[in-house]
Structure 1
Amino acid sequence: MQYRRFGKTNLHLSVFSLGTMRYLADAENAQDTIAQALALGINHIETARGYGKSEEFLGQALQSGLSVPRSQLHITTKVPPTADADSMRRYIDESLTRLHLDYLDCLGIHGLNTWEHLQWVQANGGCMQAVQEAVGDGRVRHVGFSTHGTLEVIKAAINTDLFEFVNLHYYYFFQRHAPAIQLAAEKDMGVFIISPADKGGKLYTPPQTLKNLCQPYSPLELNYRFLLNDNRITTLSVGAAKPEELIEPLQVADRDGELISAEIAVFQSLENYQKTVLDTDKCSQCYACLPCPENINIPEVLRLRNLAVAYNMTDYGQYRYEMFENAGHWFPGMKANRCTECGDCLPRCPEELDIPALLNDAHERLKGQTGRRLWG
């Protein structure tokens, strides 16, 4: 296991962190998963108020005793932004109680996703007053935020200078947030990557087409290498549901150096293959088509179509597409069948794509049964 400085927090975190949203089968499974993570060299565990019994199970494991002293184990929990300080005070106290802790190494504002959330954290006497009180009395040592928001919201949150770290989405198959990574690095902020195996493409169950293109590596391995070769990134979340799910990811835990020529060749091959298959239908992800009058997140819909058509990543595409209209500010936007063919987007597209036709095709490929998030 390699370790990296978590920005200005000056904590040194393992390059993989244990995310605890999926170990919820029971307390014993949670404790076994935590024990395995520690045995493999992970020293950072990340939980949240909104992750079911996650905090409670982690608190029970901490109370029963672990193989690593508390001083060498870094705990992050996350609480949602609030419109007032009193709610935030209560959230912090309740999380500390469930975790059986007298201090948190890191507290993250969970889901700073909208401009309204940003207003809340910047308001005088608002939720950050309660956070700063907790920092002042030692109950919280470092403060950051996690986000599923737009690039513009993320950059604005970073530029408040209220935060020491950021948790965000960024993967080989989703590089939209590269400018936020760079801005965070310039601010000396720690960077935590959310769920690269799952949100990064459901890479633990990749389609055969993608597996063939990635040989001699696995798609999951390549995504981890893409991230770990970037020294601006501190740590990657592994959301193991059980101890065995930690084994494959951590096989690359010591391979955090620059990409080697063979890896670079595979990434180039993936790009060339996508260009060939998609031809003139490839969305370049410039985002010039927005805003859409029907609030369709056109670039994201077409990104999912790109992946489904080029690499047969239809399962991943359906998984993400189903969240439109079902996940609120966590995954905003309407489904592609809301397109009225108004044509507003067409003159803005530098690729001159037939966007309404591609949206219709994407909807037919990706529509499925609706689902909702674990938390609201």
Structure 2
Amino acid sequence: MQYRRFGKTNIHLSVFSLGTMRYLADAENAQKTIAQALALGINHIETARGYGKSEEFLGQALQSGLSVPRSQLHITTKVPPTADADSMRRYIDESLQRLHLDYLDCLGIHGLNTWEHLQWVQAKTGCMQAVQEAVGDGRVRHVGFSTHGTLEVIEAAINTDLFEFVNLHYYYFFQRHAPAIQLAAGKDMGVFIISPADKGGKLYTPPQTLKDLCQPYSPLELNYRFLLSDNRITTLSIGAAQPEELIEPLQVADSNSELTSTEISIFQRLENHQKTVLNTDECSQCYACLPCPENINIPEVLRLRNLAVAYKMTDYGQYRYGMFENAGHWFPGMKANRCTECGDCLPRCPQELDIPALLNDAHARLKGKTGRRLWG
């Protein structure tokens, strides 16, 4: 296991962190998963107030005794932004009680996703007043934020200079947030990548087309290598629901060197394949088409279409597409069938794509079961 400095926190975290969103209902299995993670060298566990009973299960494991001293184990929990300080005070106290801890190594503002959330954290009488009190009395050592927001919101949050780290989405198949990573690195912030296996493309169950293109590596391994080769990134989450799910990811826990020539050539192969298959229908993800009068997240819909058409990543596309209209500010936007063909986006597209036709095709390919978040 390799360890990296988590920005200005000066904590050294394992390059993989145990995320606990998925062990929501089984205390015994949670304890076994935690024990296995520690045995494999993970020294950072991330939970959240909103993850069902995750804080309680982790607290029980900490009370029962672990193989790693508390001073060598770094615990992060996350709490949602609030408009008032009193709610945040209560949230922090409740999390500490459930975790049976005197202090948190890191506290993340969970889901700083909207401009309104950003206003709350910047307000003098808002939630950060309570957070700073907790820092002052030692109950919280470092403060950051997690986000599913737009690039613009993320950059604005980083530029408040209120935070020491950021948790965000960034993967080989989603590089929109590259400027935010650069901005965070310039401010010496720790960078934590959310769910690279799942949100990064359901890469633990890749389609055969993608597997063939990635040979001799697995798609999951390549995505991990894409991220670990970037020294601006500190740690990647593993949302293991059981101990066995830790094995495959940690096979690359020591592979944090620069990309090899073979790996670079495979990424080029993937890029060339997408361009060839999609031809003139490829969305370049420039975001010039926004805003949409019907609030369709056109670039994200067309990104999912790109992946489904080029790499047969239809399962992933349906999984993510099903979140539209069902996940609030965590995954905003309307489904593509809301398009009225108003033509507002057409003159803004530098590729001159027939966006309404592509949205219609994307909906036909990706509509399926309605999605929802694993937790509220």
TM-score by length of 2: 1.00
Rounded to whole Å, the distance in 2 between the matches of 1:126 and 1:24 is 30
Pairwise CA distance, 1:160: 0.2
Deviations 1:294-335 (A, max 9, x none): 000000000000000000000000000000000000000000
Pairwise CA distance, 1:374: 2.8
Rounded to whole Å, the distance in 2 between the matches of 1:236 and 1:336 is 31
SS in 2 for 1:106: strand
Pairwise CA distance, 1:372: 1.6
> Could you tell me which residue of structure 2 aligns to residue 18 of structure 1?
18
The answer as to 2:236 corresponding to 1:222 is no
SS in 2 for 1:252: coil
SS in 2 for 1:188: coil
Contact 2:76 2:106 in 1 (8 A): yes
Pairwise CA distance, 1:24: 2.5
Contact 2:301 2:336 in 1 (8 A): yes
Contact 2:221 2:252 in 1 (8 A): yes
Deviations 1:340-363 (A, max 9, x none): 000010000011000000000000
Rounded to whole Å, the distance in 2 between the matches of 1:83 and 1:351 is 42
Rounded to whole Å, the distance in 2 between the matches of 1:141 and 1:375 is 27
> Could you tell me which residue of structure 1 aligns to residue 76 of structure 2?
76
Pairwise CA distance, 1:62: 0.1
Rounded to whole Å, the distance in 1 between the matches of 2:312 and 2:297 is 21
Pairwise CA distance, 1:132: 0.1
Rounded to whole Å, the distance in 2 between the matches of 1:343 and 1:101 is 56
Deviations 1:117-138 (A, max 9, x none): 0000000111000000000000
Pairwise CA distance, 1:288: 0.1
Pairwise CA distance, 1:375: 3.0
What is the 5 A alignment of 1:1-376?
Answer: 1-376=1-376
Rounded to whole Å, the distance in 2 between the matches of 1:21 and 1:375 is 8
Rounded to whole Å, the distance in 2 between the matches of 1:203 and 1:288 is 29
Pairwise CA distance, 1:141: 0.1
Deviations 1:212-267 (A, max 9, x none): 00000000000000000000000000000100000000000000000001100100
Rounded to whole Å, the distance in 2 between the matches of 1:321 and 1:282 is 18
Contact 2:15 2:253 in 1 (8 A): yes
Contact 2:320 2:371 in 1 (8 A): no
Pairwise CA distance, 1:92: 0.1
Pairwise CA distance, 1:23: 1.9
SS in 2 for 1:248: helix
- Runs of 4+ with >4 A deviation: none
Rounded to whole Å, the distance in 2 between the matches of 1:288 and 1:28 is 49
Deviations 1:60-113 (A, max 9, x none): 000000000000000000000000000000000000000000000000000000
Deviations 1:8-63 (A, max 9, x none): 00000000000001123411100000000000000000000000000000000000
CA RMSD of aligned residues (A): 0.5
Deviations 1:120-162 (A, max 9, x none): 0000111000000000000000000000000000000000000
SS in 2 for 1:143: strand
Unmatched segments (≥5 aa) in structure 2 = none
Rounded to whole Å, the distance in 2 between the matches of 1:254 and 1:283 is 35
Rounded to whole Å, the distance in 2 between the matches of 1:335 and 1:361 is 12
Contact 2:85 2:127 in 1 (8 A): yes
SS in 2 for 1:334: coil
Rounded to whole Å, the distance in 1 between the matches of 2:332 and 2:287 is 15
Pairwise CA distance, 1:371: 2.2
SS in 1 for 2:22: coil
Rounded to whole Å, the distance in 2 between the matches of 1:290 and 1:320 is 19
Pairwise CA distance, 1:373: 1.2
Contact 2:25 2:53 in 1 (8 A): no
Pairwise CA distance, 1:270: 0.3
Rounded to whole Å, the distance in 1 between the matches of 2:333 and 2:183 is 26
Task: Give the % identical residues.
Answer: 93
Rounded to whole Å, the distance in 2 between the matches of 1:116 and 1:226 is 33
Rounded to whole Å, the distance in 2 between the matches of 1:374 and 1:149 is 18
Aligned residues: 376
